[in-house]
């Protein structure tokens, strides 16, 4: 598969490019008061309000640093809401490369914390393979309905 590679804390992570709707620059996000700390905020994208999940905060390594390489990766979610999107905020979002996902192995993660997916050795170290539908289904329950709405401004 072709994977979009990015950084979350010390982890190098990849997601199948066929799952990505678009990658956009990090923009100023409106706060979501009362939301979990890993909800970075929301922004309007092509007339839709898009919630953004900070992957760094989600896995417990602090907030996503404000680097020029930080990007919002947009995914269609939830599947049953047409044109709905959720953004995942990460750093060093700059590379697409061939990934042999059939050699991935599950890695244990901290109890009570959402993981980034199985891992594989890719010649440059360990690469985590993210399944966005699985991840978003795990965090949707704790987002107070924010992810499942797909509302327009």
Note the pLDDT of residue 148: 62
φ, ψ of residue 133 to 5 degrees: the values are -65, -45
Cα separation of 50 and 151, whole Å? 8
Mean pLDDT in each 10-residue stretch from start to end of the chain (153 residues)?
93 94 96 88 94 94 93 91 91 90 62 66 83 86 65 46
The reply to whether 152 falls in a domain is no
The reply to whether 69 falls in a domain is yes
Domain with 93, as residue range(s), is 2-140
The reply to whether 150 falls in a domain is no
The reply to whether 147 falls in a domain is no
Q: What is the CATH number of the domain that holds 123?
A: 2.40.50.180
The reply to whether 101 falls in a domain is yes
* Number of separate domains in the chain: 1
Whole-angstrom CA distances from 130 to 18, 72, 107, 149 are 13, 15, 12, 23
Distance from CA of residue 41 to its chain's centroid? 13
Note the pLDDT of residue 134: 86
Note the pLDDT of residue 107: 62
Note the pLDDT of residue 96: 95
Can you list the positions of beta strands (E) in 26-65? Answer: 39-45, 48-54
Whether the upstream peptide bond of residue 78 has omega within 30° of 0, thus cis, is yes
Cα separation of 136 and 130, whole Å? 10
Whole-angstrom CA distances from 107 to 11, 36, 102, 137, 151 are 12, 25, 15, 19, 36
The reply to whether 61 falls in a domain is yes
The reply to whether 40 falls in a domain is yes
Q: Taking a C-beta distance cutoff of 8 angstroms, is the pair 78, 58 a contact? A: no
The reply to whether 149 falls in a domain is no
């Amino acid at each position: 598969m072709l994977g979009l590679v990015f950084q979350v804390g010390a982890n190098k992570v990849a997601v199948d490019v066929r799952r990505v709707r678009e990658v956009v620059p990090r923009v100023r996000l409106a706060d979501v008061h009362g939301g979990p700390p890993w909800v970075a905020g929301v922004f309007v994208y092509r007339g839709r309000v898009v919630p953004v999940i900070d992957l760094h905060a989600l896995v417990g390594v602090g907030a996503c640093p404000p680097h020029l390489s930080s990007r919002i990766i947009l995914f269609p979610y939830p599947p049953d809401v047409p044109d709905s999107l959720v953004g995942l905020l990460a750093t060093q979002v700059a590379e697409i490369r061939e990934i042999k996902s059939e050699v991935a192995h599950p890695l244990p993660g901290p109890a009570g914390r959402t993981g980034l997916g199985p891992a594989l050795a890719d010649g440059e170290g360990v690469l985590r393979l993210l399944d966005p539908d699985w991840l978003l289904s795990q965090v949707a329950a704790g987002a107070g309905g924010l992810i499942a709405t797909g509302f327009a401004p």
